[in-house]
Amino acid sequence: MQEYRALRVHRDANDQFSLQVETVPASTLPDNDILVRVHYSDLNYKDALSTIGNPGVSRNFPHTPGIDAAGEVITDRTGQYGPGDRVLISGYDFGMNSPGGLAEYCSVPLQWVCPCPPQLDLREAMIYGTAGLTAAMSFDKLALHQHKAIRDTRLLVTGASGGVGSLATAMAAKLGFQVTAMSGKTQSHDWLRRLGAVKVISSEKWLSASAKPLLAPQWDCAIDTLGADALFNIIKATEQNGAVVACGLASGAQFNATVYPFILRGVALLGVDSAEQSNDYKHKLWLRLATDLKPSALKSMYQELTLEQVPSVLSKMREGRSRGRYVVRIGV
């Protein structure tokens, strides 16, 4: 392999960024343990930020984005994997300041690689990607604080039409939660009911800070992808001894808070970071995504793209006009 196709981000002398599919020399790949032929990648909001030079995501250009990849091992100098083994790569510095998965090949350290469970095909793995790992971790966190049988538990999922939110909605319904899905996209409400939400509400009134110290309890727990003032409103409307998982910042990174929900209702605020978890833990999450968390609607929750279609979809993601998951078919 002397060259390969990749999506590349360039920065010009005026700090303007451009994105296009190119044929690049194999020498652009880092000299790491494992060379993988990528079959599928996917799109996440972090990829959308990487392609416009967000310094918290990517700082070195030209750059190949893509924080997830699923493919087959070509070579492994450690001997852990053999040629043709199906593997998954997600998180760490992959697709940030290291070349990522939106390319025909990637080269990564052994510590970044997980075996793909036999119950998942590579396309299904990328329907999940980082979004699926984040949702799975959210349920792990809630299980630490669960005080009721799941079938009686009212769960709110915010940003439910997005990648993490839609997967969390479908997984929660399969587990038996009574799911309320919150979305500002009215055109997605029927779709969310088909995924298993028993109730769908608009996010509009939750986005602005409420002056009330507490709100009437409406759910036992929540998975929040919005952040900002919506997060604290949701905490204030959580039942006694409930828990809220914070795993996103679609509405912003900052919010004003008081201690009242925590000391008067005992609400727990739980954080999720899927990128830097140990590889062993990620493997356990992948096994759950392949089995008890796998919703029957999984294959209806994504759109498949070519590399050439990726730039326009990343623009939609930055503008808040995307829905569900996007899988990028690369080397199949």
pTM recorded for the entire structure: 0.94
- Tell me the average pLDDT across 182-209: 94
pLDDT digits (tens, 9 = 90+) for 120-163: 999 999 999 999 999 999 999 999 887 566 777 999 999 999 99
Q: Is the dihedral of CA 54, 58, 62, 66 positive or negative?
A: negative
pLDDT > 90? residue 320: no
Share of the chain above pLDDT 70, in %: 99
Instruction: Out of 49-53, 113-117, 187-191, give the one with best mean pLDDT.
Output: 113-117
Contact 214, 236 (CB under 8 A): yes
- Confidence (pLDDT) at 124: 97
Strand order in the sheet with 268-271: 199-201, 178-182, 154-157, 219-224, 238-246, 268-271
Domains in the chain, start-ordered, CATH in brackets? 3-116+301-329 (3.90.180.10), 133-271 (3.40.50.720)
Give the per-residue pLDDT at 167: 97
Determine the pLDDT at residue 263. Answer: 97
| pLDDT reported for residue 148 | 65
pLDDT tens column, 51-107: 888 888 888 899 999 999 999 999 999 999 999 999 999 999 999 999 999 999 999
Give me the residues paired with residue 20 across strands: 8
Average pLDDT over residues 184-205: 94
Contact criterion met (CB below 8 Å) for 150 and 319 = no
pLDDT at 56: 85
Per-residue model confidence (pLDDT) at position 149: 66
Mean pLDDT to the nearest integer, 285-300: 95
Mean pLDDT for the chain?
94
Please write the tens of the pLDDT for every residue from 12-40: 988 899 999 999 999 999 999 999 999 99
Q: What percent of the chain has pLDDT over 90?
A: 83
pLDDT of residue 154: 96
Looking at residue 90, its pLDDT comes to 96
Residue 152: what pLDDT? 79
Q: Which residues contact 218 (CB under 8 A, 6 or more apart)?
A: 154, 156, 180, 237, 238, 239
State both tokens at 160.
Answer: 């439910």
Mean pLDDT of 112-119: 97
Q: Is the pLDDT of residue 233 over 70?
A: yes
Which pLDDT belongs to residue 103?
97
